[in-house]
Amino acid sequence: MVDVLVVVQKEADASELLTIAKKVGEPVALTYGNSEIEKLTKYFNKVYRIKEDDPNSIFFAIKTLYEKLNPKLVVGMSSKNLKDAYSRLAGIYDLPLATDIFDFNVSGSKVTYKRSFLSGRAIETEEVTMPLLLLVSPRKTQKSEGNSNGSIEELSIGNSSNVVIKERKEKVKGGVNLEAAEFIISVGRGFKNKDDLKLAFDLAELAGAQIGCSRPIAADLKWLTEDHWVGLSGKKVAPKVYLMFGISGAPQHLAGITDAKTVIAVNNDKTAPIFKNADYGIVADLYQFIPILTKKLKERH
């Protein structure tokens, strides 16, 4: 008897998903593509594997296992490819699906969970009866120890995909890891030219900060790579200090910094909405202020 199907690639995710699965019952896992399969067998008694990693193949594999095992819950970590695959299984059987959830609880056949809502401005609690599909927000669930010694079974899904992959292009990365950063200096449209970002980079190097940015800098102007992008569609960050230069404070940007401890904004427009969403505000022209701040920090050494 299987109660939960866990779709997972990495051990770090497996340890959190197991915590959720155990609240419902007995889990098995499905893994795909380039996964940490040997480590996954510590967490599950059975791990099914497909070698493909595109959403069509993942969808066919989940569907095959769903129909075979009839689980109450299909769970995984939120990602774009799993959103794609899960939404299709949900469509076929009119199953409830929720994405980016946390605080999962079970009472009988009823389930509750929370998720971010209204572009990060509210938290909703939903109540639903199993069977259902869930995609979980990473790093918000306690980890479980794995003490299984599971077996691996290859799953063949046949070559039935109607979407053909022609090419994959790795995204250029700026070498930042904003999710782990304690101090982020973030740049916005207040900078007039790409070259002027050097002001912020010099300051960040001196202060030991990583560089973040608002949507226009990464998505529209492409002055920085997407791994610098903070916000609803970019990274969610939780630094001790988030120091912004020339960011006006669009709600989508604020949605990415709700977990920041101290937020500081420098903007030359004293009416900028960001000041209402900052712990400390400084009305100043960044072109004048950053060189002074940099000089002061140098003197401090």
Partner 1 sequence: MSTLGDIVVLIKPALNPEMIRSLPDGGVDFDNIPLKLSDIDRNAIEEANRLKELLKGKIYSITISTWGPIAKRDKDIKMAIQEGLAKGVDEAILLEDDSITPGDQITTASAIVSILNKFNIKPDIILTGEATIDGFSGQVAGRVAAKLNLPYISFARKIDLNGNKVIAERDLEDYVEVVETQLPAVISVTREINSPKPPTLIQIRMASKKPQHVVKLSDLTNVAMPKKKLAEAKVLSVKRKQTMIEGKSLEEVADKLIEILEQEGVLKH
- Quick check: 95 and 110 in contact, CB under 8 A? no
Q: CA-to-CA distance for 72 and 4, rounded, in angstroms? A: 6
Stretch that binds partner 1, among 26-34, 138-146, 187-195, 274-282 (CB under 8 A): 274-282
Q: Tell me which stretch binds partner 1 (CB under 8 A): 17-25, 38-46, 68-76, 239-247.
A: 239-247
Pairwise CA distance, residues 203 & 286, whole Å = 12
In the numeric block, the tokens 């669930």 are attached to 141
Encoded one letter per residue, x for contact with partner 1 by CB under 8 A and - for no contact, window 93-132 reads -xxxxxxx-----------x---xxxxxxxxxxxxxx---
Closest CB to partner 1 among residues 45, 258? 258
Pairing of β 280-283 and β 241-245: unpaired
- From the list 24-32, 40-48, 142-150, 204-212, the region that binds partner 1 by CB under 8 A is 204-212
Nearest-approach distance from CB 87 to partner 1, in angstroms: 3
Here's the x/- map for partner 1, 5-44, by CB under 8 A: it reads as ----------------------------------------
Query: Which residue matches tokens 């610098």?
Result: 228
Q: Which is nearer to partner 1, 47 or 74 (CB)?
A: 74
Contact indicator for 83, 101 with CB cutoff of 8 Å: no
Collapse the DSSP code of 16 into the 3-class scheme (helix H, G, I; strand E, B; otherwise coil) and give the result.
Answer: helix
**Alpha-carbon span 128 to 130, nearest angstrom:** 7
Number of residues that bind partner 1 (CB under 8 A): 85
For residue 268, state whether it binds partner 1 (rule: CB under 8 A). no
- Closest to 39 in 3D by CA, of 29, 27, 51: 29
Q: Is 67 exposed, middle or buried (0-12, 13-18, 19+ CB in 10 A)?
A: exposed
d(CA 71, CA 267): 53
Of the listed pieces 11-19, 29-37, 43-51, 273-281, which binds partner 1 according to CB under 8 A? 273-281
Q: Write down the least CB distance from residue 192 to partner 1, Å.
A: 19
**Nearest CB to partner 1, comparing residues 19 and 233:** 233
What gap in Å lies between CA 251 and CA 197, rounded to an integer?
A: 23
Residues 152-191 that bind partner 1 (CB under 8 A): 162-171, 182-183
Listed ranges 8-16, 151-159, 193-201, 275-283: which one lies at the site for partner 1 (CB under 8 A): 275-283
Helices 286-300, 198-207: crossing angle, 10 deg rounding: 30
**CB closer to partner 1 out of 27 and 281:** 281
CB of 299 to partner 1, least distance (A): 10
Tell me the window of 34-42, 44-52, 64-72, 86-94 that interacts with partner 1 (CB under 8 A): 86-94
The vertex-169 CA angle with 164 and 170, nearest 5°, equals: 135
User: Which residue of 38, 51, 70, 92 would you call a contact of partner 1, by CB under 8 A?
Assistant: 92
Q: Closer to partner 1 by CB, 60 or 191: give it.
A: 60
- 301: helix, strand or coil: coil
